Amino acid sequence: MLQNIARPGDLPHALPPQPADESSLRLDLAAAYRLIARFKMADLIETHISVRLPGSEHFLINPYGLLFEEITASSLVKVNLQGEVLSDDSIEPTAWQINPAGFVIHSAIYPARPDAGCVLHTHSPYVMAVSALQSGLLPLCQIGLQFYNRVAYHDYEGVSLELDEQERLVNHLGNKKVMLMRNHGLLAVGRTVAEAFHLAYYMEKACEVQIRAQSTGSPLIEPTPAVCEKSARQQESEQLGELQWQALLRLLDREAPSYRQ
């Protein structure tokens, strides 16, 4: 009777597996930039999202100077762990450089986290607001409970330009997928671009709910720790964000297909 009812973590059997070739990863990463802009989580040309290229120590990241809504698959820059921009005959040559803070953050995470396929850093408004609260993220709503006891914290040290901050970033992140960088923004680490975007989108939503709830001045209701943990486990999935990602790509293909260029 319930055989056609989707359960948490279920995906349609027809959903294709996450591709791992560079051209497909370029499409996914360009889509992530466009979606961050579309959902108003961008900060002009600042912040950055990267994707690890399989079988190498290289990653793709945004060219510094483009708005997120301008980024296309072919405009993404390939970088090694030494910060060198690499040329590729199959991609249009570029004179763009990369955000130096982006290099410091992303080149720290990939060697330390073999599970990281995508690293995402934003300055979205509600995340920044909660990052400045001593309490950090509170367990106030269902979408926020997926992060219960799963958020790391890193104290602000200034703009991330110093290489010696890398060790502290990695140590504070540990094995978690989400970190609030105090007085700064969000760091999300996903196995896929889909997962990293999913984490960033719902972290911003959870922070928005918290700020709106706190702004009422009324007492807040927090579920018991047992219920919080139960909810967090219910929302975990080996393919987190994949079903939503397919829908989001369809949205972009209707509204802003130039990301594929």
Residue 151: CB atoms within 10 A of its CB come to 18
Residue 13 lies in a domain: no
Cα torsion for 90, 91, 94, 99, to the nearest 10°? -120
Residue 113 CA to residue 80 CA, distance in Å, equals 16
Per-residue pLDDT, 94: 59
What digits encode the pLDDT tens for the residues 47-88? 999 999 998 889 999 999 999 999 999 999 999 998 888 876
Domain range enclosing 54: 22-256
Residue 117 lies in a domain: yes
Residue 172 lies in a domain: yes
Compute the mean pLDDT over every residue in the chain, rounded to the nearest whole number.
91
Residue 137 CA to residue 130 CA, distance in Å, equals 6
Note whether 161 and 100 are within 8 A (CB). Answer: yes
Residue whose structure tokens are 């927090």: 222
CA distances from 172 to 100, 165, 179, 182 (A): 21, 11, 8, 12
Residue 261 lies in a domain: no
Q: pTM, whole model, 2 decimals?
A: 0.90
Residue 2 lies in a domain: no
Number of domains into which the chain is organized: 1
Residue 34 lies in a domain: yes
Q: Which of 8-12, 137-141, 160-164, 228-232 has the lowest mean pLDDT?
A: 8-12
Note whether 129 and 120 are within 8 A (CB). Answer: no
Cα torsion for 129, 131, 134, 138, to the nearest 10°? 90
Joined tokens for residue 44: 């002009």
What digits encode the pLDDT tens for the residues 20-45? 799 999 999 999 999 999 999 999 99
Residue 213 CA to residue 46 CA, distance in Å, equals 29
Residue 152 lies in a domain: yes
**Whether residue 135 has pLDDT greater than 60:** yes
Residue 107 CA to residue 99 CA, distance in Å, equals 12
One-letter identity of residue 247: A
**Whether residue 160 has pLDDT greater than 60:** yes
Residue 103 CA to residue 138 CA, distance in Å, equals 31
Q: Which residue has the higher pLDDT, 255 or 94?
A: 255
pLDDT band at 97 (very low <50, low <70, confident <90, very high): confident
The CATH number linked to 54 is 3.40.225.10
Mean of the pLDDT values across residues 190-207? 97
Residue 99 lies in a domain: yes
